[in-house]
Amino acid sequence: MNLEFTQEELDFQKSIRAWMRENVPEALERVSALGNMPTKSQQQQWERCLGKQGWLALTWPEQYGGPGWTATQRYIFDIERAMAGAPPTSPFGVAMVGPVIYTFGSPEQKERWLPGITSGETLWCQGYSEPNAGSDLASLKTRAERKQDHYLVNGQKIWTTQAHWADMMFCLVRTDPEAKKQQGISFLLIDMKTPGIEIRPIYSIDGHHHLNEVYFTDVEVPLENLVGQEGMGWTIAKFLLTHERTTIAGVADSYYALARMKQAIEDVPYYTDKPSARRRMAELEVELMALEYTNFRTVAATDEGKPFGPESSGLKIKGTELQQKMSQAMVEMGGLMSLAWDSPMEVGNESFNNAPRRYNFLRACTIYGGSNEIQKNVLAKMLLGL
Ligand SMILES: Cc1cc2nc3c(=O)[nH]c(=O)nc-3n(C[C@H](O)[C@H](O)[C@H](O)COP(=O)(O)OP(=O)(O)OC[C@H]3O[C@@H](n4cnc5c(N)ncnc54)[C@H](O)[C@@H]3O)c2cc1C
């Protein structure tokens, strides 16, 4: 494997870096610098801006609106995006339901839904988990009964990220309660403004509202919103989960977090133990480089047209563990400055003041996208043959 970028790739990097410098809004950069989450309008404005360039659906085939980049170019783009202080793209449209629609959808569904995703106009959320169906997703109970010209949906989803932002939900529902668990599930696209949908917020430990419960009471969903065939939901869900995990290692955003950490230490003139802080940061950087090189292996394989397999589980485990470790280091290095996280006053240094918010949120990253214990089961089964 050749790890040097070609001249063409270096030119590409230069042009992306220049574009980011011109186009990442200052307010957004500041949100990232403090380790916070953008508002809905900040996120959507940014995604529309990328959409105008044709840079939103990076992995998609060109015929559906992808830019036609190699995996290496996408990697370069992601690093430049993160280091410029721009947030990652919301995964639900571009990384999840989009590939499902262009792979399993009808021509009418492709025409109706894909343009809203590539332009950043339509926001999506993922309706998979239920109170008794998380890791054991196939136990889901939300029922969709087929009526003459619609499905009648009743049930409840939980932990639905950005349901309160979303125009549409892609949802796993049970269409055949008599069939074996996995076989009775179907994949529906649901307009979030349909009567009978109630969204209740869940405030998480970082103090923010990302998550929701979503209740369905006699919600009528047109039959044409079924993707694939009835009973095909499990096949589609498995296809989609691999896509979800490819983006979850978060190498680029971890490099950004590391750069902010270094900056915060340098910005505090009275920080007394810089040598041990630097040692700790160097250790984290070495771990991050190891993750990056593992990621390079998958980038190289993708460029050669090989499919993304169970190694995505390894990237998810290592990437999320490292995100947690880094956020913990930031809080510990901030010491007393990190105790001020819910205070309106700056105490010493803003980055350290905000560090506990990110630390608290990132407790969840080893759970969402399929918990790390489940990923270890996947590796044991698929790679080790246990
Ligand atoms: C911040 C956040 C955002 C989320 N966003 C969404 C979203 O947008 N849409 C959505 O549908 N869902 C979302 N989820 C839900 C997420 O997918 C589930 O929380 C996750 O799949 C785990 O399911 P659970 O919470 O029911 O835990 P459980 O499945 O009950 O697991 C509890 C514990 O048992 C362990 N465990 C379970 N089964 C096994 C096993 N077979 N072997 C070993 N260990 C096991 C798990 O690893 C975990 O530690 C989100 C969750 C979080 C925290």
Residue 245 is predicted with a pLDDT of: 59
Q: What is the pTM of this model?
A: 0.95
Checking if the pLDDT of 244 tops 70, the result is no
Contact 129 CB / ligand 1 (< 6 Å):
yes
Contact 113 CB / ligand 1 (< 6 Å):
no
Gap between the Cα atoms of 307 and 310, Å rounded: 10
Residue 57 is predicted with a pLDDT of: 96
Checking if the pLDDT of 315 tops 60, the result is yes
Tell me the CA–centroid distance for residue 86 and ligand 1, in Å.
28
Gap between the Cα atoms of 171 and 97, Å rounded: 10
Tell me the CA–centroid distance for residue 183 and ligand 1, in Å.
21
Beta carbons of 249 and 287 less than 8 angstroms apart: no
Sign, CA torsion 351/356/361/366: positive
Q: Please name the residue whose Cα sits nearest to atom 48 of ligand 1.
A: 371
Beta-strand ranges (E) seen in the chain are 124-127, 143-146, 150-157, 168-174, 185-191, 197-203, 209-222, 226-227
Name the residue of 92, 135, 173 to mutate for ligand 1: max ligand atoms within 8 A of Cβ. Answer: 135
How would residue 306 be classed by pLDDT, with cut points 50, 70 and 90?
confident
How would residue 299 be classed by pLDDT, with cut points 50, 70 and 90?
confident
**Which atom of ligand 1 is nearest to 133's Cα?**
26
Q: What is the pLDDT of residues 329-348, one digit of tens each?
A: 999 999 989 988 777 777 88
**Which atom of ligand 1 is nearest to 161's Cα?**
8
Cβ density class 213-246: b for 16+ within 10 Å, e for less: bbbbeebebeeebbbbebbbbbbbbeebbebbbb
Contact 132 CB / ligand 1 (< 6 Å):
no
Name the residue of 368, 377, 386 to mutate for ligand 1: max ligand atoms within 8 A of Cβ. Answer: 368
Plot region of 178 (φ>0 → left; ψ -120 to 50 → alpha; else → beta): alpha
Task: Supply the mean pLDDT for the chain.
Answer: 93
Q: Give the list of residues 6+ apart from residue 90 with CB closer than 8 angstroms, or none.
A: 43, 47, 123, 124, 162
How would residue 1 be classed by pLDDT, with cut points 50, 70 and 90?
low
Instruction: State the average pLDDT over residues 205-209.
Output: 91
Residue 80 is predicted with a pLDDT of: 97
Amino acid letter, residue 73: Q
Beta carbons of 264 and 349 less than 8 angstroms apart: yes
